[in-house]
């Protein structure tokens, strides 16, 4: 197993209130994290990670995290910790994500693996226990993945859990309880919750339609029926269209050449459409027939869906079109309050300063852009004025060239003394 340094908070921290199985904030220098996080070698062209707080942040040191640095690349890195089982205990997985690059398509999720994972060969098909976190691609995909592996198959949550899609840092938390309930939180606020059995298709349905049951032949499910005593009026049947009474044969109509003239037809104002008898309540109506259900013989309750016996690796295994996402403040614990407090002490402290710096950066860029636009407009105005001055000078030069010719004619004209 990879040696753990003095600053590696990866080993379990036991306390009266909680057990912290894994915690990572990247606070121990530029390269120390590389002793804890192992890059996969499964592909030769995985993207490179760099440790940075990004272009804007709440704290230049505390907000440093792993950032994707190359566009259109897969990324794969993982950190190992002492194996544990969440049997009979709450499992909390939490981390922060910042898509400061205005992400267009890419993952922002983590995966939790068993100890059997070969970290050097981790890749997209490596079997994991849990996959959790945001995933964004275009306008259609902006969701939080919550995927659990059950009996060798990955099961996606049936609900749509929306993720944040702005450029700020957000805190994502997954809570898995031994009573088979779960909760998803974003920024320490609940956004979804429920039960594992209801919100995932881990198990067959509890009941199925009785294959032996059939709808009775005399079952009448028509709420209304034709009134047998209603009869069609005698004057009901009239033509839908009639010849236009106001139409006249053209004066130049030649029946030998054009054939017999027939007036055009127009909708018949007396036409009432197809006659149908009026509807009355059906005295034999029994309501909609409901197919009876029976217990599904293939269903077997399982109170251990939530349980994972060998949790030991946290991995980042994802693809990004536009790089720049920063991952930080990882925590795996068995205590919800511990996670809330950790989130408040990390993301909670730096979120407002980060927003402030982001606004200042945006204002600076906006002013620079306005200055460039103003400068460009001034240059264009100067060019237009120069063109106009050039045209005026050209006209003046033309007038000056004509003036001497007029003077020459005056000089050549005979004076009075010569006449």
Q: Retrieve residue 211's tokens.
A: 């294959």
Residue 414 has pLDDT above 50, yes or no: no
Position 392 confidence tier, pLDDT thresholds 50, 70, 90: low
The pLDDT of 100-119, averaged and rounded, is 97
- What is the C-alpha to C-alpha distance for residues 5 and 32, in angstroms, rounded to an integer? 8
Tell me the pLDDT tens digit for each residue of 234-261.
889 889 999 999 999 998 998 888 899 9
- Show Cβ contacts of residue 232 under 8 Å, excluding neighbours closer than 6 positions: 275, 277
Mean pLDDT, residues 175-201: 98
Q: What is the pLDDT of residue 409?
A: 44
d(CA 158, CA 143) in angstroms, rounded, equals: 12
pLDDT at 384 over 90: no
The annotation places the binding site for an alpha-D-glucoside at: 109, 111, 128, 135, 317
pLDDT of res. 391: 65
Average pLDDT over the chain, rounded to whole?
90
Radius of gyration of the chain (CA): 40
Residue labelled with tokens 């898509």:
99
Does the predicted model carry a pTM greater than 0.85?
no
- The rounded percent of the chain whose pLDDT value lies above 90 is 77
Name the binding residues.
25, 62, 64, 109, 111, 128, 135, 317, 328
pLDDT value at 233 more than 70: yes
Q: Which residues of 320-357 are buried (b: 16+ CB within 10 A; e: fewer)?
A: beebbbbbbbbbbbbbbebbbebbeebbbebbeebeeb
Q: Kindly indicate the confidence band of residue 29, based on its pLDDT and cuts at 50, 70 and 90.
A: confident
Kindly report, residue by residue over 75-84, the tens digit of the pLDDT. 999 999 999 9
Mean of pLDDT values over 184-197: 98
DSSP state of 35: G
Quote the pLDDT of residue 256. Answer: 86
Which pLDDT belongs to residue 15? Answer: 47
Is a pLDDT exceeding 70 seen at residue 12? no
* Mean local confidence (pLDDT), 296-306: 97
Q: What pLDDT score was predicted for residue 14?
A: 47
16 band by pLDDT with thresholds 50, 70 and 90? low
List the binding residues for Ca(2+).
Answer: 25, 62, 64, 328
Q: pLDDT digits over 150-163, tens only?
A: 999 999 999 999 99
Rama region for 72: left / alpha / beta (φ>0; ψ in -120 to 50; rest): left
Short-list 186, 164, 163, 171, CA closest to 350: 171
Query: What domains appear along the chain, each with residue ranges and CATH number?
Result: 13-203+304-357 (2.60.120.200)
């Amino acid at each position: 197993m990879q040696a753990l340094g003095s600053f590696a908070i990866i080993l379990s921290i036991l306390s009266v209130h909680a057990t912290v199985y894994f915690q990572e904030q990247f606070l121990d220098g530029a390269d120390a994290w590389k002793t804890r996080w192992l890059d996969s070698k499964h592909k030769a062209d995985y993207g490179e990670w760099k440790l940075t707080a990004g272009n804007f942040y709440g704290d230049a040191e505390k907000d440093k995290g792993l950032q994707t640095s190359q566009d259109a690349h897969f990324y794969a890195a993982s950190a190992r910790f002492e194996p544990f089982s969440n049997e009979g205990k709450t499992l909390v997985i939490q981390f922060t994500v910042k898509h400061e690059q205005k992400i267009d398509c890419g993952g922002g999720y983590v995966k939790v693996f068993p100890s059997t994972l070969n970290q050097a060969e981790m890749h997209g098909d490596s079997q994991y226990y849990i996959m959790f976190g945001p995933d964004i691609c275009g306008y259609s995909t902006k969701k939080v993945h919550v995927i659990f592996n059950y009996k060798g198959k990955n099961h996606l949550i049936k609900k749509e859990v929306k993720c944040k899609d702005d450029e700020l840092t957000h805190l994502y938390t997954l809570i898995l309880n031994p009573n088979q309930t779960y909760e998803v939180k974003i920024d320490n606020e609940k956004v979804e919750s429920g039960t594992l059995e209801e919100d995932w298709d881990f198990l067959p349905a509890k009941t199925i339609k009785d294959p032996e049951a059939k709808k009775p032949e005399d079952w009448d499910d028509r709420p209304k029926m034709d009134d047998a005593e209603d009869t069609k009026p005698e004057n009901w049947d009239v033509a839908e269209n009639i010849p236009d009474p106001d139409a006249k044969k053209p004066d130049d109509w030649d029946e030998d050449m054009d054939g017999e003239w027939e007036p055009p037809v127009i909708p018949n104002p007396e036409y009432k459409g197809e006659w149908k008898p009026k509807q009355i309540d059906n005295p034999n109506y029994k309501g909609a027939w409901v197919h009876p259900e029976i217990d599904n013989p293939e269903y077997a309750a399982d109170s251990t869906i939530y349980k994972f016996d060998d949790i030991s690796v946290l991995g980042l295994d994802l693809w990004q079109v536009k790089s720049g996402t920063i991952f930080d403040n990882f925590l795996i614990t068995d205590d919800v309050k511990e996670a809330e407090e950790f989130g408040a002490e990390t993301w909670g402290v730096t979120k407002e300063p980060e927003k402030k710096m982001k606004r200042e950066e945006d204002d600076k860029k906006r002013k620079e852009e306005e200055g460039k636009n103003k400068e460009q407009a001034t240059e264009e105005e100067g060019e237009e004025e120069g063109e106009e001055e050039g045209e005026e000078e050209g006209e003046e030069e033309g007038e000056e060239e004509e003036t001497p010719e007029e003077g020459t004619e005056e000089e050549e004209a005979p004076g009075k003394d010569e006449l």
